[in-house]
Structures are given as structure tokens and as C-alpha cells.
């Protein structure tokens, strides 16, 4: 691979857009080329700097109001709301409730997985901006857990992992894959971990997978009808440790 090619492809590498084969090729070039290695490092630093600075704008309230006003207003006695439908869904007859409402199963196709991981990383980045991280601030799982009740169809499990070295700092409602989902927020040292939890119709257990996107590590797994994404700038080893501790605490909870 020439430097000229590498100088374009390192961007796709940084962005996690290359397939494994090409990624290896670019990585091999960068390892043996000081010029491209230095460039890539700078691009990553700039990207990190942008991610950590406040480059986004908040829509003025007045704009939100104007748009709201232009839309037909909801009527109280309309068709069953998604919430009531999903309540039935959560009570067990998943398949029939979904068939009845045409609700699409949230089963990830492969090409969706990457998109959702992208969204999860976006949500993580959004959360790092000033004042966005936590809706309910508490290190007490018995405060955070009930806070989610009524806000989401299925509340995410909230587990205190302080003794295991991951401090629970609160919870937040977020928006991923066009739906509201819960985010449980932990910290290790100065590193934030967002644990996103979404309901899925697929109850199959999926073992954890670690991936890297835009410099963040994502540990993704599924268990008992919930999809989990833990996102952090922690190293893959520490994020794996977090996931393992979380999963064993869940198992202990279930057994105990």
C-alpha cells in the first residue's frame, strides 16, 4: 500500500468503516510508516478534541414550540398507545402482541448492528457534553431503578458495582434506534461508562462482543430479552471487566 492510498484509508480506519481485511492492511502500513502513523495520530487527537468540546448547538425553545404548534395535537382518547401495547408485550405474550400491533421485532440484522452501534456512540458522545450526562443523580441503585419506572416500558436493571470498582452515578433517558432507551451511568476513575439497555423480542442469550468505533470501546451482549451496550473510552480490558462484573452480578441477583 502506498502512502497516498493510506492517507485516504486511515480515515476509514479511524471511523471503523473498513472490513477486517482492509483494516489489517492499513494498520500494517501505518505500523511501518512513521509519516502515516504521525498523521493518523493527529487526526485521532483532533477527533477526540472535537468530541470533547462543545461544538453542537441547542435548538431554541421557540423553534421547538413553532414546530409543535404546526403539528396536529394528540387526542386523549386515541388508539391504544404504544405504552399500553408494550405493557402487554412485557407481560409475556410477545409474539401475539407484536403480531396484533404490527410492532416490528427489534432483532438486529447484521447491517443494522453497525448503524445502532454508531447511534450508541453518538448517544455516548452527547451524554458527555455539559449537563447531559445524567437525569437522575444517585449512587444508590434503589433510587435510580424506580426513577426509570413509568418512563420506559421496561426499566433497565440497575446494579451497584462500586465494590467491584465501577461507581454507579445515575441514570438517563436516551434515544437510540428511534426509540427511548435507558442509560445507566457508571464511572471508573474519570472515565464514564454508559450502559444502554433496550428491550428485544429475541430472548436468546448472546455472548459479549467487543468492538471499537471512533475511539470508543463497545461491549455488546444480550440476555433475557434485553440488549446491552456498554460504551466507554476505557480500554477494552477494563470494559470487559465491567461487563463481566455486571453479568455475574445479574446472575447472582437472579439466583439470590
Interaction pattern, residues 125-154, with another protein; x per rule: CB under 8 A: x-----------------------------
Does residue 101 touch another protein according to CB under 8 A? Answer: no
Q: Give least dist CB 81 to another protein, A.
A: 8
Give the Cα-Cα-Cα angle 158, 159, 160 (nearest 5 degrees): 130
Does residue 60 touch another protein according to CB under 8 A? Answer: yes
Which among another protein, Zn ion, none contacts residue 91 (Cβ within 5 to 8 A by kind)?
none
Does residue 13 touch Zn ion according to CB under 5 A? Answer: no
Which range touches Zn ion (CB under 5 A), out of 36-44, 59-67, 69-77, 116-124? 36-44
Minimum CB distance to another protein smaller for 121 or for 159: 121
Does residue 20 touch another protein according to CB under 8 A? Answer: no
Minimum CB distance to Zn ion smaller for 9 or for 192: 9
Does residue 40 touch Zn ion according to CB under 5 A? Answer: no
Interaction with another protein in 155-214: which residues (CB under 8 A)? Answer: 175, 178, 214
Give the Cα-Cα-Cα angle 168, 204, 219 (nearest 5 degrees): 40
Instruction: Choose which of 28, 31, 63, 235 interacts with another protein (CB under 8 A).
Output: 63
Q: Give least dist CB 213 to another protein, A.
A: 9
Q: Can you give the three-state secondary structure of the chain, one letter per residue?
A: CCHHHHHHHHHHHHCCCCCHHHHHHHHHHHHHCHHHHHHHHHHHHHHHHHHHCCCCCCCCHHHHHHHHHHCCCCCCCCCCCHHHHHHHHHCCCHHHHHHHHCCCCCCCCHHHHHHHHHHHHHHHHHHHCCCCCCCEECCCHHHHHHHHECCECCCCCCCCEHHHCEEEEEEEEEEECCEEEEEEEEEECCEEEEEEEEECCCCCCEEEEEEEECCEEEEEEEECCEEEEEEECCCHHHHHHHHHHHHHHHHHHHHC
- The Cα–Cα gap between 53 and 51 comes to 6
**Site residue total, Zn ion (CB under 5 A):** 5
Q: Give least dist CB 40 to Zn ion, A.
A: 9
Applying CB under 8 A, the residues found at the interface with another protein are: 4, 7-8, 11-12, 15, 17, 34, 38-39, 42-43, 45-47, 49-60, 62-64, 66-68, 70-75, 78-79, 82, 112, 114-115, 118-119, 121-122, 125, 175, 178, 214
The residues that touch Zn ion, with contacts defined as CB under 5 A, are: 3, 6, 33, 35-36
Amino acid at each position: 500500500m502506498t502512502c497516498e492510498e493510506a492517507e485516504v484509508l486511515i480515515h476509514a480506519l479511524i471511523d471503523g468503516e473498513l472490513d477486517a481485511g482492509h483494516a489489517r492492511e492499513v494498520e500494517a502500513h501505518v505500523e511501518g510508516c512513521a509519516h502515516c502513523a504521525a498523521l493518523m495520530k493527529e487526526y485521532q487527537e483532533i477527533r477526540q478534541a472535537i468530541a470533547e468540546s462543545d461544538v453542537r448547538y441547542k435548538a431554541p425553545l421557540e423553534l421547538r414550540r413553532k414546530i409543535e404548534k404546526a403539528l396536529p395535537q394528540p387526542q386523549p382518547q386515541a388508539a391504544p398507545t404504544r405504552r399500553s401495547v408494550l405493557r402487554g408485550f412485557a407481560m409475556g405474550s410477545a409474539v401475539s402482541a407484536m403480531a396484533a400491533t404490527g410492532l416490528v421485532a427489534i432483532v438486529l440484522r447484521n447491517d443494522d448492528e453497525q448503524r445502532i452501534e454508531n447511534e450508541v456512540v453518538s448517544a455516548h458522545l452527547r451524554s458527555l457534553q455539559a449537563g447531559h450526562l445524567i437525569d437522575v443523580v444517585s449512587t444508590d441503585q434503589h433510587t435510580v431503578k424506580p426513577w426509570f419506572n413509568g418512563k420506559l416500558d421496561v426499566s433497565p436493571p440497575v446494579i451497584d458495582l462500586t465494590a467491584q470498582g465501577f461507581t454507579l452515578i445515575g441514570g438517563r433517558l436516551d434515544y437510540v434506534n428511534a426509540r427511548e432507551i435507558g442509560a445507566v451511568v457508571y464511572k471508573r476513575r474519570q472515565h464514564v461508562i454508559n450502559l444502554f439497555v433496550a428491550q428485544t423480542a429475541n430472548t436468546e442469550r448472546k455472548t459479549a462482543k467487543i468492538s471499537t468505533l471512533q475511539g470508543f470501546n463497545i461491549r455488546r451482549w444480550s440476555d433475557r430479552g434485553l440488549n446491552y451496550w456498554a460504551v466507554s473510552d476505557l480500554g477494552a480490558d477494563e470494559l470487559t471487566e465491567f461487563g463481566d462484573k455486571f453479568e455475574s452480578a445479574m446472575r447472582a441477583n437472579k439466583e439470590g
